[in-house]
Amino acid sequence: MEKMKQQFTDLLKEQNAYKEALGLIQWDLRTKIPKNGMEQRAEVIGLLSEKIHQLSTSSQMKTYIDELKGKTNDAVLEKVIEKCEEDYLRSSKIPDHEFKEFVTLRSKSESVWQEAREKDDFSLLQPYLEQLVAYNKKFATYWGYETNKYNGLLDKYESGLTTSVLDEVFQKVKEALTALVKKIEQSEVEIDVDLLLHHFPKEDQEKFSLAILEKMGYDFQAGRLDETIHPFAIGINPQDVRVTTRYDEKDFRMAVFGTIHEGGHALYEQNISPELYQTPLASGTSMGIHESQSLFWENFVGRSEGFWQSHFDLFRSIAPAAFQSLDFTTFYQAINEVKPSFIRIEADELTYCLHIIIRYELEKDLIDGELEVKDLPEAWNQKMEDYLGIRPKNNKQGVLQDIHWSAGDFGYFPTYALGYMYAAQLHHQMKQELDLGTIIQSGDFAPIKEWMTKHVHQHGKMKKPLEIIRDVTGEGLNADHLIAYLTEKYSKIYQL
């Protein structure tokens, strides 16, 4: 038995080594790679992904699962075996050659997306998206699903989540937020965002971003900050968790809030319990819980009045002269303006969920066969007009703005809104246990990081997403806390 445990551990280490190599290559693909190197890199990604797939579905893996399951008193090892079995059952349903083809296609599609976005030419990406949608439909069938094919994809990112649950909760959120937006449109409070749109050199934005990451508790000995088109955080392993951001010298908010957001993801990955290292459990338990961490830091901390009370002097010490005359109240209102916008990652925190609901409805229709890829731009523009009252002038503002579909990630988008709801629930509970307002205003975020590490980070995949939420808050998914938070905050700002 001990020999078999060691052999199982060695197999996991081999699998993890390939995953680390793949993660590093994917980071490079999105940050540093020369354009001419993309096609070859896609082939390498395909080969490495195929190897990982083969290891996770090998006869060796099946033997270790069968022989070790339920025969050890080690709680971590038992959970590792459970996770490996889950991965085995899912991955073994996809033929190796199809998986390699899919992963290679994804990598090529990402590079084409960058070109299509730059040229505002959806036709470049369309044939790749058509193939990716077809693969996702096929994989959902392989994995099996109840009621709706899209459920097979949802389960990959948020175990147990179904379209029936999402349809109900999203309808509730959509009705509440659209009503609140209409009230704000009728408010007599005028917010001048132009006061923020002064030239802010990239190198100075980076100084402020680095300072905030450090105050959040991000470990620079286990990570770094880089620049990219579409910001992301990536955990190569818990000792190497990288953050990226995007700078706009005409609008510093892009980099500041983007960095805080990705920093929230990174804190999760950096603070997983060491006993889970080199196992499949050494990562976030789901994309929804992951998003709860990034959105908690970005919105509940980074956009709060207390945060800017404690960081306004630091900001002005780095910011150009044009920002020095801004008074605090004007500044705080401006960074919290509610105004429907085209770009999701630039959206205010109130309308953000509407962006996600639009994407959810579109990709569900694509997978269900009710919408064809060629009709996606028009369908996108119409929903933007219906839900946000604005219509994109081009596809760069619309359907080409996100990388996710070009990466084949269908079923992923709902987790952004789900994570926002989780974040609101965690925020509500944290306020019961900590003097959160005082902590944020002090600028010492250590108690927040410690609370999150205790309740969320350290567990990795040892707990399921709803298990974490129930253990921490005593309830399941509940959108009421998010609606209450947004209503209270913006009623105060807009004097509703």
Q: Which residues define the annotated binding site?
A: 261, 265, 291
Q: How far apart are CA 166 and CA 357, in angstroms?
A: 9
Asked if 136 and 426 touch (Cβ cutoff 8 Å), the reply is: no
Q: Rounded to 5 degrees, what are φ and ψ at 51?
A: -65, -45
Residues 6 or more apart in contact with residue 463 via CB below 8 angstroms: 285, 471
Relative to beta strand 233-237, strand 240-245 is antiparallel
Helix pair 38-56, 75-91: axis angle to 10 deg: 120
Cα 110 to Cα 451: distance, rounded to the nearest angstrom: 37
Please give the C-alpha separations between residue 203 and each of 226, 242, 247, 386, in angstroms, as whole numbers. Answer: 12, 19, 9, 39
> φ, ψ for residue 303 (rounded to 5)?
-100, 10
Helix (H/G/I), strand (E/B), else coil: 271: coil
Concatenate the DSSP letters of all residues of 226-261 into one string.
Answer: EE-SS--EEEEETTEEEEEE---TT-THHHHHHHHH
Those residues whose C-beta lies under 8 Å from the C-beta of residue 23, and which sit 6 or more positions away, are: 234, 235, 236
Q: Which two tokens stand for residue 113?
A: 């997306």
Which residue ranges are tagged as binding site for Zn(2+)? Answer: 261, 265, 291
Both tokens assigned to 288: 């929804």
Whether residue 301 contacts residue 433, with contact meaning beta carbons closer than 8 Å, is answered with no
Strands of the sheet containing 240-245, edge to edge, are: 225-227, 240-245, 233-237
Check: CB of residue 174 under 8 Å from CB of residue 357: yes
The answer to whether residues 159 and 286 touch, using CB atoms and an 8 Å cutoff, is yes
The secondary structure of 52-63 as a DSSP string is HHHHHTSHHHHH
Query: Which two structure tokens, joined as six digits, stand for 122?
Result: 């959806």
Active site residues: 262
- Going from the C-alpha of 457 to that of each of 88, 265, 493, the distances in angstroms are 25, 10, 33
Q: Residue 209, Cβ neighbours under 10 Å: how many? A: 24
